[in-house]
Amino acid sequence: MTDLRYPIGKYEPITETNEAQRRALIDSLTNLPLQLRAAVKDLSPQQLDTPYRPEGWTVRQTVHHIADSHLNGYIRFKWALTEDEPRIKPYDEKLWSQLADAQTADPALSLALLDALHQRWVLLLQSLQAEDFARKLLHPEVGWMPLDTTLGLYEWHGRHHTTHITNLRRRMEW
C-alpha cells in the first residue's frame, strides 16, 4: 500500500532551477487554487470533516492549512526579497489546525483567500529575475533556503495536500 502521508512522495529540495523549470513551478502555483477547488467540489459537511488518512487532518483542516502555509510562504518570499538573508519565524501547523477557524470555517473562505493570494504571489514571482531566486532566507529548523528551493517546496506542498484530498475521494468513491 502507498504511504497515505506522502501520496506524491516526500519533498526533494530543489537547489537550482533553470528558467523553464521555474516557469513550470510558477504555472503549478497558478493552477493550485482551481485544482483545490475542484478537489473539494460538492463535498458534504460530513465529507469535509473526514480525515484524509488515519490520524490525519480532515479535508476542511487541510484546505485551511494550505491557505495558512501559503500565506506564510508569500510573506517569506517578500522578506527574502526585501531584507538581507532574513531569519523567518516558523509556526506550529498542528496547533494552527486545532484552532476554531481551521476546525469549523467553510473551506470557501480559504479557497477565496488562495485565489487572491496566488494571483498576487504569481505576479510577484513572474516579475523576478533569475538572480532573485538565489536570495536566501534562514529557516531555524531547516537552515538556509534559496528562493528556488522555497518555490519548489510550496509548489510541492500544494500538490501534496490536493492529492491527499483527491485520493481520499477516490478511496471513498465520492
- Copy the grid coordinates of residue 61: 483542516
pTM score: 0.96
> Any idea how long the chain is?
174
5 in any annotated domain: no
pLDDT at 171: 96
pLDDT at 14: 87
Place of cell 501547523: 93
CA separation for the pair 137, 146 (Å, rounded): 6
75 in any annotated domain: yes
Closest alpha carbon to 147 in 76, 96, 82, 60: 76
Number of domains, the chain: 1
44 in any annotated domain: yes
Each as own residue / partner, the long-range contacts of residues 48-52 (CB below 8 Å, 24 or more positions apart, any chain) are: 48/107, 50/168, 50/172, 52/4, 52/164, 52/165, 52/167, 52/168
Place of cell 494550505: 66
Residues in the chain, pLDDT under 70: 1
38 in any annotated domain: yes
pLDDT at 16: 78
Helices (H), 10-145: 19-40, 45-48, 59-82, 93-97, 100-104, 107-127
- Give the domain range for residue 67: 19-172
Classified as helix, coil or strand, 58 is strand
Q: Say if CB 18 and CB 144 are below 8 A apart.
A: no
pLDDT at 125: 98
CATH number of the domain encompassing residue 122: 1.20.120.450
87 in any annotated domain: yes
74 in any annotated domain: yes
- Copy the grid coordinates of residue 76: 517569506
